[in-house]
Amino acid sequence: MLHILRSSWLYLNGFISVLIFGVIILFIGLFDKKKNITGIFVRIWGQWMCKSSGINISIEGLDFLTQKNQYIFIANHESLLDIPVVLSQIPFNIIFLTKKELFPIPLFGWAMHSAGMIRVDRQNKERAKKSVKQALTSLKDKNINVLVYPEGTRSSPGKLLPFKKGSFILAIQSGLPIVPITILNTGLNLPKRKLILNKQIDIKLIIHEPIKTKNLDPEYDKDRLANLTYNIINKDLK
């Protein structure tokens, strides 16, 4: 019974936090063209969501990151918790590429748009290419970093699905380093399509050493880069 109550609280708390911070981010984002202030509130939302839900998180590898740099963060994706967990732990302004179906959702989708998040149409390659171009423009014009879950959907705990290549084309075209992130145990704390939870398990983020992308060719290097990143993330999932 306690497991069900904890699961219900995570969903309810997510709804409450989006309701509160969504309104703030929606209005601030309209005037914050560089997304500096908006980014702060997005991180506060992630921190508030995790702390008020009693989620215990540890992180290692932050010393690989330098505040003056921009990055393309690439992570595995097991749970809806992945987004607030990553945003709460990484002290950078971050936008993420996410499926277009989320943007029509009242308040939640509007706030994402106002915060500069980029919609991706997974079923249309031409529109997906436009999303990459939009992300490139945002990286150039704003002090932001991009977070991508290249599996395209949530996977089972400890498993990694094949990576889609769009984020690696984005990294090469931008010349920004890729930072692989291994997220552990979010899927065990909030499983996909399940309400009942196991006992709470601490979540861990492993930040891996950045991978340089300058002078790479999107056509010839994207597969090699995707495989390298996949193997780095997958190594700590086993």
CB < 8 Å & 24+ apart, contacts of 97-105: 97/131, 97/135, 97/146, 97/147, 97/148, 97/166, 97/167
Q: Which amino acid is at 121?
A: D
Q: For the ranges 47-51, 139-143, 198-202, 215-219, which has the lowest average pLDDT?
A: 198-202
Query: Token digits for 165?
Result: 């290549």
Q: What is the pTM of this model?
A: 0.88
Alpha helices in the chain, H assignment, sequence order: 2-31, 36-52, 82-89, 108-114, 125-141, 166-174, 186-189, 218-235
Residue-range domains of the chain with CATH: 2-235 (3.40.1130.10)
The answer, yes or no, to whether residue 119 has pLDDT greater than 80, is: no
Residue 191 has what pLDDT? Answer: 67
Portion of the chain with pLDDT greater than 70, in percent: 90
- 197 or 88, which is more confident? 88
Three-state DSSP class for residue 100:
helix
Place of tokens 């010839």: 220
- 156 or 59, which is more confident? 59
